[in-house]
A and B are shown apart, each in its own frame.
Chain A
Amino acid sequence: MKAMYGYKDGSGDYFITIDTDKCDGCGDCVQACPYGVFEVIVDDYDDEVGAVTSDQKNKLKYTCNPCKPEGSRHADFPCVKSCSQDAITHSW
């Protein structure tokens, strides 16, 4: 399942997608993120997978700002880099 956490407001789209079919619930993203964006949960279908915390999902543009300086690439983001299963994607 592709879980898209985040939001769209007047200024744009800010979504972090976690592909739970790829995710193995290792928790590396939780450690890699300096701002506590991720957590490991047991979802509705009883799988242990990564997720974006409900506290952070509506602030992603602001929270992720420091990890996205001018010239940064998607592959450089700490969370994306930490995921061995390639389960994390940022939409911006």
Chain B
Amino acid sequence: MAKEFWRWREYNWHEPEIDWKEAGVISAGVDVGSVSSQAVVMADGKLFAFSNMRTGSNSPESAQNSMNWALDGTGMKLEDIQYVVGTGYGRVNVPFANRTITEIACHARGGNFMYGNTVRTILDMGGQDCKAIHCDERGKVTAFLMNDKCAAGTGRGMEVFADLLSIPIEEVGDLSLTVEEEPPPVSSTCVVFAKSEASGLLREGWPKNKVLAAYCSAMAHRVVTLLERIGVEKEFAITGGIGKNAGVVNRLKDELKIETLTTDYDSQIAGALGGALFAKAAYEKSKK
């Protein structure tokens, strides 16, 4: 069977130290994206469990599967969760959600939790979209911009290149940083044209890391110009799958001349985590 270079590792996790049966409020957020889905469970506003997996062809099934996987091994069942918020591109397809909230609001809320209340600009580079969000100290959105029309700067765009060069997607970023000298970026931002350009470069004898560097450089620059439309206010944080691609992130930070906040949490769960926080607040409000 041909190796699928675009396939990244799926995983789940839960906190063994928390006894969820003692918790007052159990809330959850499920973020069904076009490429990946995450489910996050919180016990009294503390992260208890999560899962990160590829979204299947059936959204309701993906929502269910990611939820089950997050709960796997915890002894908790769906019925034990008091409030669920669905978010993401497939949010209308989370059949067990009590309410849906846009991924913009959830990312702001989740980012505020994960990076602290000094964060004002969150860049989420997802599977099929790129979002730039401004928020206040409470994690409320004050401005947002989302691009899900064009593959440039998204995970899918990166997958096309991982496939072209036969390199596992998780290694693409680091490999692009091994060049001795930074090559000029590919001239097309369009992924389809950039791919033709890259094929030409490979035929001319360019090594893979140089081609990747040229592409990551072009992608980073493109994201910078998108960010400039909304402005970057400190502090700045990056979430999403490409947030883990150092090839793009480092070049982006260099161009913007800005540092990013770090977090101990997995940056891909920001949306689902924000959802779980909204869920907790909604549940508490309903009990008043």
Contacts and interface: CB of A to CB of B under 8 A. Distances in A.
A45 B140 contact: yes
- By secondary structure, the A interface counts as strand
Interface string A6-18: 1111100101000
Interface size class of A (residues with CB under 8 A): 10 to 19
Interface in B127-181: 134, 140-150, 152
Contact of A44 (B101, B145, B193, B225): B101
B225 A8 contact: yes
B35 interface: no
A15 B189 CA distance: 18
A4 interface: yes
Contact of B142 (A1, A6, A10, A57): A1
A61 to B, nearest CB: 9
12 contacts: A1-B142, A1-B144, A2-B143, A4-B146, A6-B149, A8-B149, A8-B225, A9-B190, A13-B225, A13-B226, A43-B102, A44-B102
Secondary structure dominating the interface of B: mixed
Interface in B202-253: 222, 225-226, 229-230
Interface of B: 101-102, 104-105, 134, 140-150, 152, 188-190, 193, 222, 225-226, 229-230
Contacts, number: 60
Contacts of B143: 1-4
A9 B152 contact: yes
Given A13-B225, A44-B105, 18 more contacts: A1-B141, A1-B143, A2-B142, A2-B144, A3-B143, A4-B146, A6-B149, A7-B147, A7-B148, A8-B150, A8-B229, A9-B152, A10-B188, A10-B190, A13-B226, A44-B101, A45-B140, A58-B149
Nearest to A21: B142
